[in-house]
Amino acid sequence: MKALVLAVLLTGAVFVSPQQTTIAVVNISESGSPVLLSGTVTAGDEGSGVLRYSLTKDISCTNVSTKNILLAITRIKVTRLTTIDLDETRSQDYFFTSEILKPDATDVWHDSFGPFGKPTGETELKPEEPRAAARIIFVQFADGSIWGDPAQAEDALRDRADTESELKLLVETYRTRGNEQFLTELTKPTRLGGIGILQRLYADTKDTDRVITKVVSMLKCADVHQSAITTLAP
C-alpha cells in the first residue's frame, strides 16, 4: 500500500512580510490513506546577521480512518525555499500520554529549524520553484495493527522502548537513592523526546514532585496503551 504523498508548491504562496515566505500545504494523498495532512511551511529571513534564516512547519494531521492512531511517522523534504534543503522524518507517538488521535480528530504539529546561515560552500541555486514534499510512511493504530512499511518504524519503536526503560529507572532512582540522584539521572543528555519533556518541565518549575508525578503518569499511560495492543505486524 502506497504511503500518503503531500506536495507543498509555490502556487498559492502568501507573503506575510518582506522577510517571510509562507507556502500553503497542498494535500495530494492517495485514496485509502489513514491520514490527511495540511498546513504551511514558512521560511524566515531576519535580513542581517550570520544566523539570519529559519524554517517553520505547521502541519495538521487528520485521522480519516475508523481506528484510533497511536503512532504516526511522516517524512518531509523541503527544497528551494531557503538557503538549505531539509529532509527529515518526524514521529508523533502518543504512547506515553492519555491522548490518541481519534477518528476525525486533528492534531497540529509545530516544528521549527534554525536559526541558521548560508552553507559554507555556497552554490548558485537553479531557478526552480520552492517545494516541500511530505508523506505518512507509517501508522500504528491503538489496537496494534499497522499501515505502511514497518521497517520505517524501527527507530520510533526503539525510542519508545528506551523511553519506557528510562522512565522506570527514574522512578527506581527516586525511590531508592533520593532526590539528588534522581536529578542527576534526569538531567543526563538524552536523544529521547519524552525525557526531554521532563527535563524542560524541571527547568521551568524546579519542582521534583511535579516531575515525578509526570513520570508516573507517563508509565501508567504506557501500560494502558500496551494492554490495548492486540497485534503488531512484523
The C-alpha cell that represents 206 in the structure block: 524546579
Is residue 33 within 8 Å of residue 61, measured between CB atoms? no
Domain chopping of the chain, boundaries: 6-148, 155-228
86: enclosing H helix or E strand: strand 86-93
Spell out the residues 6+ positions from residue 224 whose beta carbon is closer than 8 angstroms to its own: 98
- What distance in Å separates the CA atoms of residue 37 and residue 136, rounded to the nearest whole number? 9
Q: Which CATH number fits domain 6-148: 3.40.50, 2.60.40, 2.40.10, 1.10.8?
A: 2.60.40
Assess contact for 156 and 93: CB atoms under 8 A.
yes
pTM of the entire structure?
Answer: 0.83
Tens-digit pLDDT profile for the chain (234 aa)? 444 433 333 344 444 445 888 888 777 777 778 999 888 889 998 888 888 999 899 999 999 999 999 999 998 888 888 888 888 889 999 999 999 999 999 999 998 888 888 887 655 555 578 888 888 999 999 999 999 989 999 999 999 999 999 999 999 999 999 999 999 999 999 999 999 999 999 999 999 999 999 999 999 999 999 999 864 544
